[in-house]
C-alpha cells in the first residue's frame, strides 16, 4: 500500500458518518408483516378475485347458493355474515365503543400497531382510539366524517359485520382482498379481548363500508361516501 493509500484509509476513519441506526427492530417488523401477508402473484390474485366475483354472482342468482356462500365471509380480522334477521342495534356515533381518545403515540403503543394515514389535503387527525390490536381515528374527507380502523389479524380486536337482505356486498380491487358493503340495513359489532374475557362492546347500525386486507393488517373505512370516493381514500392509505 502506498503512502497515499494509507492516508486515505486513515482519512476514512475521520469521516463524519451519521451514527448507524439499529435496523434490527425495523427489519424484524417488516419481515413479520410479510409473514402474515397473503402475497400471491398478480395472476393468482386476479384469478382469485375473478372466482370470488363468480361466487358472488352465483350467490345473488341462486338463493340456496347465496345462503351457502355468504353465511360467513372472512377478511383478515373482519368477518361478514349475511343473516335473515339483524341483531338488535342502535344508531350510535361512528367511534362508539372504541374507548377514549388518545394522542397518536400513546394509541400506537396501546394498539401495538403503527397507524397508516392517508396523504390528503384535509385536516390531519390528532386524536386516536386504541384497543390491543386495533387503532382508529376519525378523518374528515370531502367534508364528511369517515372512521378509519386498522386491525392486526394476529391479535384480538375483531370486527364483525352483518349484512341484511337489502345490502350490496361486492369484492373490489384493493390490497390483497377487499369488500365494499353498501345500502340496506347492516350492523357492526366490535369484539375485544380473548377467550373467556372476549366481549361484544357495541352493536350499532353502520354506514357504507370498505374493508380490505393489506399484508397482516385489516383496514376498514366507514362513512357517507360512495364506492369511488372510498376507494380513492383507501388507495391514499395503502398505496
Residues that bind other proteins (CB under 8 A): 2, 4-18, 20-24, 26-28, 30-32, 34
Dist CA 33 CA 152 (whole Å): 10
Closest to other proteins by CB, 13 vs 42, is 13
- Smallest gap from residue 34 Cβ to other proteins (A): 8
Q: How many CB atoms lie within 10 A of CB 201?
A: 14
Q: How many CB atoms lie within 10 A of CB 206?
A: 24
Closest to other proteins by CB, 10 vs 61, is 10
Q: Give buried/exposed letters for 81-100 (b at 16+ CB in 10 A, else e).
A: ebeeebeebeeeebbebbbe
**Cell numbers linked to 54:** 363468480
- Smallest gap from residue 239 Cβ to other proteins (A): 17
- Smallest gap from residue 33 Cβ to other proteins (A): 10
- Smallest gap from residue 238 Cβ to other proteins (A): 18
Beta bridge partners, 48, equal none
Closest to other proteins by CB, 18 vs 88, is 18
Closest to other proteins by CB, 30 vs 144, is 30
Amino acid at each position: 500500500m502506498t503512502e497515499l493509500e494509507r492516508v486515505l484509509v486513515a482519512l476514512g476513519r475521520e469521516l463524519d458518518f451519521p451514527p448507524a441506526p439499529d435496523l434490527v427492530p425495523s427489519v424484524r417488523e417488516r419481515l413479520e408483516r410479510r409473514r402474515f401477508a397473503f402475497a400471491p402473484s398478480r395472476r393468482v390474485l386476479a384469478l382469485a378475485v375473478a372466482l370470488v366475483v363468480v361466487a358472488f354472482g352465483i350467490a345473488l342468482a341462486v338463493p340456496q347458493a347465496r345462503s351457502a356462500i355468504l353465511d360467513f365471509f372472512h377478511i383478515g380480522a373482519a368477518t361478514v355474515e349475511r343473516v335473515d334477521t339483524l341483531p338488535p342495534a342502535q344508531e350510535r356515533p361512528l367511534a362508539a365503543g372504541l374507548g377514549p381518545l388518545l394522542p397518536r403515540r400513546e394509541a400506537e403503543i396501546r394498539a401495538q400497531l403503527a397507524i397508516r394515514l392517508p396523504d390528503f389535503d384535509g385536516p390531519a387527525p390528532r386524536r386516536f382510539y386504541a384497543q390491543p390490536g386495533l387503532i382508529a381515528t376519525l378523518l374528515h374527507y370531502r367534508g364528511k366524517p369517515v372512521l378509519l380502523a386498522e386491525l392486526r389479524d394476529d391479535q384480538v380486536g375483531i370486527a364483525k359485520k352483518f349484512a341484511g337482505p337489502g345490502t350490496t356486498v361486492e369484492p373490489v380491487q384493493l390490497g390483497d382482498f377487499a369488500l365494499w358493503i353498501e345500502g340496506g340495513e347492516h350492523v357492526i359489532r366490535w369484539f375485544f379481548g380473548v377467550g373467556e374475557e372476549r366481549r361484544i362492546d357495541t352493536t350499532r347500525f353502520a354506514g357504507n363500508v370498505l374493508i380490505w386486507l393489506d399484508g397482516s393488517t385489516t383496514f376498514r373505512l366507514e362513512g357517507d361516501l360512495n364506492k369511488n370516493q372510498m376507494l380513492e381514500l383507501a388507495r391514499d392509505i395503502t398505496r
